[in-house]
Structure formats: structure tokens, C-alpha cells
Amino acid sequence: MTYTTDVRDIFQALGLQAPAGGPEGWPVHTPIDGSLLARVAPSSATECDAAIARAQTQFLRWRNLPAPQRGALVRAFGEAVRRHKQPLGRLISLETGKIAQEGLGEVQEVVDVCEFAVGLSRQLYGLTIASERPDHKLLETWHPLGVVGIISAFNFPMAVFAWNAALALVCGNTLVWKPSEKAPLSALALHGLLLQAAQQQGLDHIGLAELLIGERAIGEALVAHPAVKLVSATGSTTMGRNVAAACAPVFKRSLLELGGNNAAIVCPSANLELVVRGAAFAAVGTAGQRCTTLRRLIVHRSIYTTLVASLLRVFERLPIGNPLDDGTLVGPLIDQRAFESMQAALEVARQAGGLVHFGGRESVGTPSGYYVRPAIVELATQCGPMLHETFAPILYVVPYDDFDQAIALNNAVAHGLSSAVFTQDLREAEVFTSARGSDCGIANVNIGTSGAEIGGAFGGEKDTGGGRESGSDAWKAYMRRATNTVNYGTSLPLAQGIRFEV
């Protein structure tokens, strides 16, 4: 297949030098048809140490720049991304297989979080607290941490970096980014635009944001380095456990955004047209390769047959094919391993008595891309593979009779990222979002589990890691808190009324 815009043309449109890994460089293939996109030069362990050292040196200067001036860089970066939305979106599609609309949507997410962070640069508020002592003032202030290490996943090769980078930079930190080895081109492009924006702002960009291309060993070196004060890692739960274990002995902070085995409850009063639309996007968007993908549909028995029939009709006619083509809604899985994992999960479901609809490989004119028709699996009870996340478009459907039972099913998995309820009953909606409802970090009403806005803090509980990124007060994760007591009097009263005379 010949693309009308190849990688070299995209980088030229961005005003950046195309990656030049040479004949011995690391090959990057597109999941669209398996063809070679480019070769990149991987980073060595020595380069990793040098990058972190540069970031630490730059931090000592960057932290002294007023936060609104740091925000000016983030504004310039966001504007550059906005200007180049089309080529950046196309690059995401080429490298990850996302459909064009989702690639463009991810770029918009970068722009949006930059806008949020610019406003935040004037709102890094502390507190003034009433002191119990006369002529004393009690304050809470916030300060930068230092070097922030970012480890991102292939499925959001630009947005996850931006969530972290925009906030970390305005908070006064410097960055070292290790992107997924499956999406280095998107990282090179976004990182290049950030450095370009810094240069145009007249800033010293050396060490401000460093990029490390490599596999697991590079990530391990980043996590272990003593100069890295926070590791923000997005990926599998297994990866997150390794990061947390490496950080724990030295009490290093970690911000973990891990997997999700997300459910939606469909109540008898639900608007079924809304359910079908919401479930379809949540279940098959990004070919089921989102941490917020809808994987479990818990349906009241009275509407089960009707809803499943409607979903089957929609899944049967889903347009599957080249993600760059107009009208395509489902692109390829990222690679052969993802396809094999999906097929293995479907076989386990069959052995557990599940009724499997679709899920097989689709022919779209290329033998090298792993295209599948998203699967619907009917199970009598929640069991087997339904209890575990498979990073592929499989929607398990199970009936329920009682709303409390449905909530229990929603919560009866290891992950706790996203969840939803479809209902017109106010009580059910309120219970679901209350303390005795969903135990997930995201609990939606009458929308699906995916497609979170940047204004709210994003993240989940349990095996999802407990981290929060993006909106609300997620910025506090990138700063350290100090409590300050100021005595502006001439005596020295002690707290708790203690008397200590010398």
C-alpha cells in the first residue's frame, strides 16, 4: 500500500527532521498492512543517564521561572499542535491503526490539556490556615518535585504524554519521556514540537524535556534513577506492579494508570437506542484497545434479548478496514500478539459455555494487518475470561435480576477504572454514583465508559493503580506540599498549650 502522505512528508509538514535510524535502526511498522514506516535510533543506557542528568540541571533553573511564564511555553506548544492537527492525527493512525477521527480526537486532547494547564499556571493555590497561636500565620504552599519520568502506552501515543507534560511543566518540573516501543514516531513528532516551541520562546530547551526510545530496559533505568522524583506510568497492571515495586524501597512517588475491565449496567428503564450507540463506541473504539473500553455489559433480564439482538445487528455491519479511509469505524489490532490474545480469550469463553458471536479475522485486502470483527459473548453468569481484561474488542454480556446484584457484578473484578449505568430512574443513578455504588474512579450515567473529558481527573482504583491525571486537582501529584508557620510576634507560644521555659 502506498500512502499519499508518508512519514517523511509528515515530519516535513511539522518543520521537523524525519527520523533517521539508518539501516541498523529500530524498524517501525504500521498495523494497517505491516509495511515499514521508518527506522529510529534507540537510546542506550549511557544516553539514558545523560538525559536524566540534563533534566536535573535544567530543573534547577526551570523551577525559578514564574509559573505564568512556564505556562506561556505550554500555550505555545498547544498552539503548535493545533496548527498541525491534521498531520499529527494522520501519524497516529499510521502508527497505531486508529481510525482518522480518533487520531484527530487525540491531537485535540493534547490541545485541550495544554489550554487547561495554561490556566492552571495562575492557579497553583495553597492555603492560609487559622493558627491556634497568637501572632502566627499557618500556610500551605506547593513546590516542584524535580525530574518527572513519563512512561506511556501505544494506544494514546500523544495524549498521555500531554496529560503529564503540560501539568508537570507548569508546576515547575522537567521531563524524561519513555514512549511505547510500538509508537516512537508519534513521540518524536510531539517531542519535537515541544522543543521547537521552547526555542521560539527563547528558552533553553536542553534538559527541559528529554526523549528516550527503547524497550523495557530503558524504562527500568528511568524508574531506578535517583534523580527521577516521580514516575508516571501508563500501561498494563503487570507493568505497574513492577514500577511500584521499584519505587517502593526508596519511597519514590509513582502515578499509575493501568488496565480496566469496565462494565455498564443497563436497567429496565434505559433508553435502548442510547445504550446501543454508547456501548458500540465504548466497546469497539480503537479496536477495543483503550483502558476505558467497555468489556462487560450487565443487562436486566427483562430487556436482555431485545438489547442483544440490537447489538448483534450493529456489530454485524460495523465498517472494518483501513483506518485512513472515510467511513471506517474499526481499524486493525496493533499486532499479532493482540490478535492471538483475543482468540485465546474467545476460546476460553466457549469452554465456559459462552455463546460467541463474531470475533474472527476479517479480510480487508491485506494479509499482514490483524483486522477482526468485534465479538459479543453471551454468558449466563460472570465468570472465566469476563473477570480479566483482554485488550481487544470483546464485549461480554450477562443478565441480572436485582440492581444491587448488578452493582456487585460491576465491582467484582480486580480493576476499577471506568463504569456506567443506563437508567431513567433517579434512584438507580444516584445509588450507582454513591459510596455504595460503583467502586471505580469513573462512574457515568447514560453515557459509555470511554471518552473522558480532560477537565476531570482521570484514573481508577484497585488494579488500575490509583493514579489521577489531567484535570481537577491532579496537578498536586507533580508537586510537593510544605506547611509553613510564620511567627510575626515577639513571643514564642507553643502549640497545644505546651509550656517550656528555659
The cell numbers describing 499, all together, are: 509550656
Of 418, 423, 460, 461, residue with least CA distance to 443: 418
Sequence-separated (6 or more) residues with CB below 8 Å from residue 473: 457
What is the arrangement of strands in the sheet containing 174-178, beginning at the earlier edge strand?
A: 209-211, 174-178, 147-151, 228-234, 253-257
pLDDT of 3? 46
pLDDT of 368? 87
Which stretches of the chain score pLDDT less than 50? 1-4
> 171 an active-site residue?
no
pLDDT of 5? 61
DSSP-based three-state secondary structure for 299: strand
> 257 an active-site residue?
yes
What is the rounded (10 degree) CA torsion for 244, 248, 249, 250? 110
Which is the catalytic residue, given 95, 257, 389, 428?
Answer: 257
Element (H, E) at 483: strand 479-487
pLDDT tens-place string over residues 389-432 = 999 999 999 999 999 999 999 999 999 999 999 999 999 999 99
Which is the catalytic residue, given 48, 114, 247, 291?
Answer: 291
- The pTM of this model reads 0.96
Phi-psi region of 359 (alpha: psi -120 to 50; beta: other; left: phi over 0): left
pLDDT of 233? 98
pLDDT tens-place string over residues 144-183 = 999 999 999 999 999 999 999 999 999 999 999 999 999 9
pLDDT of 1? 39
pLDDT of 366? 75
CA-to-CA separations, 150 to 36, 118, 153, 184, 403, in angstroms, rounded: 27, 20, 10, 14, 40
pLDDT of 65? 98
Say if residues 228 and 222 touch (Cβ distance below 8 Å): yes
DSSP-based three-state secondary structure for 454: coil
**How many CB atoms are located within 10 Å of the residue 320 CB?**
20
Name the CA radius of gyration of the chain, rounded: 24
